[in-house]
Structure 1
């Protein structure tokens, strides 16, 4: 395998199987790789203030990168977003399930100062099944995102160039506040609405809830 001379910065999610595989793939191509991993709440690495090089790769990274870092990449700053361009923002798979979307996927795009706005490099999609819940949809998404990563980065590191598609981001960007509101169950909601919200938000320790008489009760999907 021919190795690239590009200086690469890789930012990813800590203790994550898919991120580890992505990093391992990049290491096959370069000897000049700087890596940082974090969880939600992990402070942004101070040493990155002085970084400069050719390529920034964000893969499930928990940091919103400053414009100064993005501009420090001579070739490109690339992000892999675990959702199709119809779902920018937070809680994408949750809203896809709630909306009964037929298709989901992952997006590779150039990074701009505003999150989930950069030109789109490539998208991979797959069907959502009626039996899918948050857990199964996330697993499928991370699998296809890794496949997308292999395809795109293999081409970028071989050709030292970026090609773009005509795909466009949706103007609607989902927020943390909307995701939190989606997990709230109200007494006046129909049984169908309650089922939709449980399916869309029940995942591990994150469960939809209802408040009655000052007490909060949680709903848990049998498949979560």
Structure 2
């Protein structure tokens, strides 16, 4: 189903922010400072979004819920997501998969949202070197900090009717999923000691509710 064409007279007047409990008040205030005349609706779940979306833009910050395609299609000014991983690692808990691969670089991505998770056009990437002794929690913290830097860099642009620029970058072909996480968290019988260490470093302290 194609998105309904936006009424050219319907100007951007609302920012819908999806974020966690700790982030919502801080990020909402930053958006209001960037554009004092904008209305910011901060929500902790998709269910709390308003029904009227024609004059709104959605911003999701390290947000675990999938935004339904019907909501995305009704947004007059699009939707943007801050993903705690670089384009090479789309999907769930990308830091774990980067550690398993032995990636030397990691980061965070700002991208347009589509009905397919982590597949929209990439707007910006904040990268950094992975510390040699980094484990999952540490890499996730570094990726979160990279998301905050991206947010600070783009807050003013995101409250503007204009779209952020688009980069000619592609998402990685492998999607990081809960199922793949669970599979790799199990060390197969006969695996080498090195393989066991790789999996323990990447998945050993991961979440249990997978």
State the TM-score, normalizing by the size of structure 1. Answer: 0.79
In the alignment, the residues of structure 2 paired with residue 193 and residue 53 of structure 1 have an alpha-carbon distance, to the nearest angstrom, of 51
The equivalent residue for 1:151 is: 153
The equivalent residue for 1:67 is: 69
Q: CA deviation at 1:47?
A: 5.2
1:110-150 C-alpha deviation (Å, 9 max, x unpaired): 01111111111101100011110011101111011100011
- Two-structure CA RMSD over aligned residues (Å): 2.3
In the alignment, the residues of structure 2 paired with residue 25 and residue 167 of structure 1 have an alpha-carbon distance, to the nearest angstrom, of 28
The equivalent residue for 2:18 is: 11
- Inter-CA distance 110–137: structure 2 relative to 1 (3 Å threshold): same
Q: Are 1:24 and 2:29 matched, yes or no? A: yes
SS of structure 2 residue aligned to 1:187: coil
- In the alignment, structure 2 segments of 5+ residues that lack a partner are 1-10
SS of structure 2 residue aligned to 1:141: helix
In the alignment, the residues of structure 2 paired with residue 36 and residue 131 of structure 1 have an alpha-carbon distance, to the nearest angstrom, of 36
Q: Contact 1:22 / 1:146 at 8 angstroms: preserved in 2? A: no
Q: CA deviation at 1:70?
A: 1.1
The equivalent residue for 1:126 is: 128
In the alignment, the residues of structure 2 paired with residue 187 and residue 172 of structure 1 have an alpha-carbon distance, to the nearest angstrom, of 25
Residue in structure 2 matching 1:101, options 92, 100, 103: 103
Q: Contact 1:6 / 1:53 at 8 angstroms: preserved in 2? A: yes
Q: CA deviation at 1:49?
A: 4.6
Q: Contact 2:54 / 2:77 at 8 angstroms: preserved in 1? A: no
The equivalent residue for 1:191 is: 193
Q: CA deviation at 1:19?
A: 4.9
Q: Contact 2:18 / 2:24 at 8 angstroms: preserved in 1? A: no
- In the alignment, structure 1 segments of 5+ residues that lack a partner are 39-43, 208-224
1:201-221 C-alpha deviation (Å, 9 max, x unpaired): 1337649xxxxxxxxxxxxxx
Q: CA deviation at 1:81?
A: 0.6
Q: Contact 2:12 / 2:56 at 8 angstroms: preserved in 1? A: no
